[in-house]
Amino acid sequence: MKKELPEIFKKNVDARHSNNKKIYYASDYEKSKMKATNDNNTMNVDDTLTMVEAKIRKLLKSSRYIFNINVEIKTDQKVYHTQIAGKVKNSIVTVDGEVIPIASINDIIIKDRL
């Protein structure tokens, strides 16, 4: 009544594989870009742009829905008190239907906890 089962094929892996992708961590790069460039703690346009992009990334990666987070967006012309609906290419779309270019944003202040 005892039946022998066929053996399972198992290939021996002798070669080393080098097709794995390298991992890039952007947080170290962002931290180094956020530091002030002058002794007076003034920032270049590129530094403020990377800080704004980092804040947008933080909002998009949060566990809450982005359109439920109250923010204050400061630009050269206006201060917006709104919620962000999303990001399209190089601009932010608000819940109010306004499109704000990221290059014109000076600062984003998150009013709610993430």
pLDDT of residue 38: 42
**46-63 confidence digits (pLDDT tens):** 666 788 888 888 888 888
Instruction: State the angle between helix axes of 45-61 and 26-34 in degrees (0 to 180), rounded to the nearest 10.
Output: 140
67 — pLDDT class (breaks 50, 70, 90): confident
The mean per-residue pLDDT over the stretch 81-96 comes to: 92
Query: Contact at 8 Å (CB) between 63 and 95?
Result: no
* 81, pLDDT greater than 90: yes
26-31+43-110 is classed in which CATH architecture? Roll (2.30)
* 28, pLDDT greater than 80: no
Distance CA 7, CA 107 (A): 66
More confident residue, 72 or 22: 72
The mean per-residue pLDDT over the stretch 86-109 comes to: 91
